[in-house]
Amino acid sequence: MIMRSYKAILALLLFCYAGVAISATHLFRLTWDSDPAHEAIVGFSPKGVSVSPYVLYGTSADEGQWQREEITYRANFFSLESYFVRLTDLPADSAIYFKVCDFDGCAPPLWFKTASNEPAPFTAIAGGDTRTGWTTRQEGNKLVAKIRPLFVMHGGDFTNGNTPFEMAGFLDDWQLTFSDDVIDGKSFKRIYPIIPTHGNHEDTNYATLCQVFGVDFVRDNNCDEQDTYGALTVNQLARIYTLNSQYQESGWQVYASQMNAWLASDLQSNQYAPVWRIAQYHKPIFPHFDGKSSNEGLFQWWATLFHKHNMNLVVESDTHINKLTYPLVPQPNTTAFYRSDNGGTVYVGEGSWGAPARSANQSYPWTVDLASIQQFKVISVTANEIKVRTAEFDDGASTLSIKEREANPLALPDNIKWWVANDVGAVFTLTQNEKGLTTYAPLNSENQRAYTLTASHDSFIASAKPTMNYNAYPSGMMVVKNHHHYGEAKALISFDASHIAKCAQLNSATLSFQSNPSQTSAITGLASELLPVYSNPTGVAISLVEPRFSENTVNWNTGYSLFSEDSFATVDVIDAGNNITLPIDKIALLTLQQQFSDYAAFGLGISSDHPVQQRFIDASENHKAPVLHVTFSGSEDCFSTPNNLITPPQSIENLNANRGVFETYIVDAVERARTLFIHLNGGYGNADLYVQIGQEVGFSDHLCRSNAADNTESCVIDVPSGRAVSIGINARTQYQGLHLSVSEN
């Protein structure tokens, strides 16, 4: 009797346990690798021993209608075992509900959404380098759950050592990306598809992506080193390319050739449809941290290919910083980009989803802005535009609800800490030209123009060496308050703006410069792999400088007096290398406007506030010239009128130029003969006048030359009907305050 009662109780307990039994599985992930409208890969790992695992799934929250799918394949990432179930024939633009089950029971239910077969807007997240900085990585993961993207692009370097222990930690943290939902009265978590990329910290195992995430990009049912590149189309709006930048390493030439041949073919087939092409890979072509070398091999592989076939947006990682570029085009016969506002490819990145941010100290003339922050990109895609935002990690953001996301695929939570970039603000809006290449919309673009000016003259002067010129000094431009050898040293920088319409009004200006060292030491570089390296900051003062100096001749005697009496800003510079981005205040902007009117140039100076510490500011000679980002407003007629066009009778006041400069002006042709009186006078210095009819004037190509000992020069010429006149002014010495007048009889 006692035995019967015991068996009955045991049976009852087993029955009750079975009702709440949980499968011995964990570390759930969902992957896209080919057809996101109809397929997805469910991945998970056993927690201890999982017997006969499988997946139950369906298109409603009613589990009674779900079907069972067995394991497609299993893989071992060293000692980390994973199971994968490929779900196929899924309905497009639909919620898919599922559970991971085994002999012991089922895990809590999850759900995701398939991509659409129609051109529907979507929101995605793109970032990389989650390998260290676990607390920050977790903060970024929690932000994913709040944003509710359709999918996530991960740029590689999931862990530091690519070990099973670290990968299990990454996958455990990945569970923080899931959103909590209640659907038909039941609790679900929304899981977001990941599209993974191979990074250099995965180089110990080139099969990491298929062993951990179950991808089969090649679709050959084999998990091997080739499953690191592929493409898929999302919502009939964007073709997403995942490439392996690590194939540039020795020993992978065969795979590299296969990848690039496939890429060329696929891009050619998809260069106009779908609307957008977006790529991700790990190593940036031109890193924005000087401790990382340029990847010229990747430039040779992809730069021309991207431009030829309308690659719109590229997401790079690896460097642990944040950057945006303008649309870029490869410069012919070089390994270099140039900015093209008429259409190109935009590059963003570079990692820092947990891994400590390095110094963002390598800017280029085509860089929009950069910063040393923890971040990922939030990408909003429609048929007409892509909006790129940079989200910094904190816990202040609200959480989108399932209803808010269903109502608006582009909705974003309130109170996200958006990074605000120079020139474009918090939202970098990308559009297309008629060929399909990327263009962009500047802030308040109506009747405005944005320009990036690279320093045309930059040097430093030293009080203890008042007659010495220090242009092209190997370490850059020295700034120090009191040096035992140089005394006080100040940097002078001028920016040529002669190509900007003189009738335009300056609206904003932002100075960007970098401190040395130009190369990071081995010790600093090694340390920054684990921890950011920040040395004690030194304050430097920014002043206005009259831009009437030459970098080849300026010294203390000639340059000190060009500085304004007071500085208008102070910023901190560190000796481990950092980029300074300084918006210029409204008061200083008024003086810059006057400089523009007087010199068609801008002048700024940098000096040290510290009594003894010296700093070096990178100069143009070490390929990191200071940059001034400016915006101007004006009418269409203003911007379309050449600066050097003169319509008689007209006078131009206050002309200035350094020695050796040859300025030219044009008098347009008219349909009648006329006599022109061309006259120079005023100011100081020595300028000569040259005039030619019907072709460009030059030293050896002129009809009239006036070269008196001072600035009083005149030419009187008879101009036939239909002929233009070219006027040249040669600065035999530096001149300032010159007056040019052109009138007709």
CATH architecture of the region 25-443: 4-Layer Sandwich (3.60)
pLDDT of residue 612: 82
- Euclidean distance between CA atoms 726 and 479, whole angstroms: 43
DSSP state of 383: S
- Euclidean distance between CA atoms 711 and 687, whole angstroms: 5
CA 94 vs. chain centroid, Å, equals: 33
Cβ neighbours for 217, distance < 8 A, ≥ 6 positions apart: 33, 34, 226, 227, 228, 229, 230, 242
- Euclidean distance between CA atoms 559 and 485, whole angstroms: 19
Phi-psi region of 351 (alpha: psi -120 to 50; beta: other; left: phi over 0): left
C-beta separation of 629 from 512 below 8 A: yes
| Number of neighbouring beta carbons within 10 Å of residue 83 | 23
Identify which of 374, 373, 327 has the alpha carbon closest to the alpha carbon of residue 348.
327
- Euclidean distance between CA atoms 243 and 260, whole angstroms: 9
DSSP state of 515: B
Helix residue spans in 564-708 (DSSP H): 586-599, 636-640
Burial class (CB in 10 A: 0-12, 13-18, 19+), 443: middle
Which pTM value belongs to this model?
A: 0.70
pLDDT of residue 7: 46
Cβ neighbours for 104, distance < 8 A, ≥ 6 positions apart: 21, 22, 23, 24, 50, 51
Cβ neighbours for 332, distance < 8 A, ≥ 6 positions apart: none
What are the average pLDDT values for consecutive 10-residue runs of the chain, which has 745 residues? 44 42 90 98 95 97 96 96 98 98 96 97 98 91 98 98 97 98 97 98 97 95 95 98 95 95 97 96 94 93 97 97 96 92 95 89 87 94 97 94 96 94 89 94 69 90 97 92 94 93 89 64 42 60 95 96 93 66 89 92 93 86 81 84 87 84 92 95 92 94 92 94 95 89 91
CA atoms within 13 A on the CB side of 216: 18
pLDDT of residue 140: 97
DSSP state of 200: G
pLDDT of residue 17: 41
| Phi, psi of 597, deg, nearest 5 | -65, -40
Residues in the chain, total: 745
Identify which of 315, 418, 425, 321 has the alpha carbon closest to the alpha carbon of residue 373.
321
How large is the C-alpha radius of gyration of the chain? 32
Helix residue spans in 349-487 (DSSP H): 402-407
The 3-class secondary structure across 259-319, one letter per residue, is HHHHHHHHHHHCCCCCCEEEEECCCCCCCCCCCCCCCHHHHHHHHHHHHHCCCCEEECCCC
Tokens of 111: 């759900």
Q: Name the residue ranges covered by the structural domains of the chain.
A: 25-443, 450-633, 644-744
The 3-class secondary structure across 11-64, one letter per residue, is HHHHHHHHHHCCCCEEEEEEECCCCCCCCEEEEEEECCCCCCCEEEEECCCCHH
**Do the strands 67-70 and 650-657 form a parallel or antiparallel pair, or are they unpaired?**
unpaired
CATH architecture of the region 644-744: Sandwich (2.60)
